[in-house]
Amino acid sequence: MRHRSSPVDGPEACSEDLFRSRLDQMIEMRHPLIQLAAVMPWETLERELSSVLPPAPAGAGRPALPLRMIIGLLYLKHAYNHSDEQVCARWLENPYWQFFCGEVFFQTRFPCDPSSLTRFRQRLGEAGVEELLAQTIEAAKGLKAVRSADLEQIIIDSTVQEKNVAYPTDSRLLEIARHKLVKAAKAEGIALRQSYARIGPALRFKAGRYAHAKQFKRLRRTLKSQRTLLGRLIRELHRKAHAEQLQRLAAVLERAERVRTQKPKDKNKLYALHAPEVECIGKGKARQPYEFGVKVGIAITAKKGLVIGARSFPGNPYDGDTLEEHLEQTAILTGVTPKAAIVDLGYRGRQPDNITIVHRGKRKTLKPPQVKLLKRRQAVEPTIGHLKDEHRMRRCHLKGQLGDALNAVLAAAGYNIRWLMRWIALSWAQILWVLKSMSAVQDRHQAQFPITSAVR
């Protein structure tokens, strides 16, 4: 194998390989990531994803990047909580990561442009990233880290995946809408009578000071002034823009009008002009009453804690209404139909067919094995914490509802990669401990019976 960017072929490429460093001679082959690379079903992944990815047109640019390398980068990105730029930079200087992504020789150039990961995610779609998650579960089965019986009892819980937006105060939204209208008018070549470039920011800062001082009457007057300025700009653009320009400005005008007219207690408020899919979700937390993003459901095995399901639910549905979708996704990803689901009280009132739902509200009717199983319900909470803090589910930086769905599933796949590495490391530690114990027993036996040992 030669460097991807090298134009040399034939015997010259072979002579180049003689002077290059082989990765298997540089690294410790017992490293958990290397052991995991050996058991990951790469061929199955490439075969399954080739049917998901849309075919590239003939003669469309340079050849595609190796599929295993892109898949490996996506795994490592969410396993180690890096951005697209950071994962490419660290791949360049980490031989273990290069080996995991299928390289034979140490590479000295970037694997790809970081924007290639963005385009590859969009091509994969939700079905493609679910395949990435499913193959981590298959790897766990291959290592015998989980059994089929472990996949029949699952724990399900929901959380909020916040979007990468600032806190949506009314004054800030009105000022951003004004700024975007002025910018859009300038791009279309429409001369505005007045842009309010100094009055707009001044009113926003004034509203912030009034809110801090709890002078709410003055705050309401300031917000009314901001709405008046925004309304003037909207009406002026409608007057001066012709039909084609109005068609191009339709989205920004519609969002600006929503911001101008929405009330504090409206249900379908707009919380971010660049991310209209953001929802306000209250989970009853004292430290953070409201979170702005999308609801995400997580399913793990009851005994081992492997993530076997992750899904976003736009529209903030009732938790119980998401239960059947969870069970369907889990059955598809694992190939095993769940028999028991442990949930919290947020899922009360729903009973899917052919499955036992266990929660605290049914304690009087539960059998002793189910009561014992109910005590495992809290095991999903630290898993959600790790997904948020260590695998990029705290804030979603990907665009749109599709980005929310992709980020949740990829975070689960990254969590499973680290889970498998810990399991491999623990298995090696147990083997070494057994060997050390056997050696110690043999030494004690020789000390007690030196003659017998010598005869043997």
Assigned domain for 2 exists: no
User: Which residue is associated with the tokens 């953001």?
Assistant: 278
Q: What is the pTM of this model?
A: 0.86
| Boundary (domain end) residue, out of 274, 307, 341 | 274
Asked if 305 and 155 count as a contact pair (C-beta separation under 8 A), the reply is: no
Nearest one of 405, 382, 126, 158 to 281, comparing CA atoms: 158
Assigned domain for 456 exists: no
CATH of the domain at 306: 3.30.420.10
- 362 and 315 together in one domain: yes
- 297 and 391 together in one domain: yes
Assigned domain for 15 exists: yes
Residues contacting 72, CB < 8 A, separation 6+: 97, 100, 101, 102
pLDDT of residue 436: 60
Between CA 347 and CA 359 the distance in angstroms is 8
Per-residue confidence in pLDDT tens, the chain, 456 aa: 334 544 444 555 555 566 678 898 889 888 999 999 999 999 999 888 887 776 666 666 677 788 899 999 999 999 999 999 999 999 999 999 999 999 999 988 999 999 999 999 999 999 999 999 999 999 999 889 999 899 999 999 999 999 999 999 999 999 999 999 999 999 999 999 999 999 999 999 999 999 999 999 999 999 999 999 999 999 999 999 999 999 999 999 999 999 999 998 888 899 999 999 999 998 888 888 899 999 999 999 999 999 999 999 999 999 999 999 999 999 999 999 999 999 999 898 888 888 888 888 887 888 888 888 888 999 999 999 999 999 999 999 999 999 999 999 999 999 999 999 999 988 866 655 555 655 654 555 466 656 544 444
- 257 and 231 together in one domain: yes
- 26 and 39 together in one domain: yes
pLDDT of residue 50: 80
Instruction: Give the structural domain span for 425.
Output: 421-448
- 215 and 96 together in one domain: no
Specify the number of domains making up the chain: 4
DSSP state of 313: E
HEC-encoded secondary structure of 326-352: HHHHHHHHHCCCCCEEECCHHHCCCCC
Assigned domain for 101 exists: yes
- 295 and 198 together in one domain: no
Tokens (6 digits) for 397: 């930086």
Assigned domain for 183 exists: yes
- 350 and 432 together in one domain: no
- 58 and 120 together in one domain: yes
pLDDT of residue 370: 87
pLDDT of residue 438: 53
How far the first Cα of the chain sits from its last, in Å, is 51
- 131 and 152 together in one domain: no
Largest interatomic CA distance in the chain:
108
pLDDT of residue 181: 96
- 392 and 439 together in one domain: no
pLDDT of residue 389: 94
Between CA 10 and CA 324 the distance in angstroms is 57
Assigned domain for 142 exists: no
- 311 and 351 together in one domain: yes
- 102 and 181 together in one domain: no
Nearest one of 273, 268, 256, 255 to 168, comparing CA atoms: 273
| Boundary (domain end) residue, out of 242, 274, 306 | 274
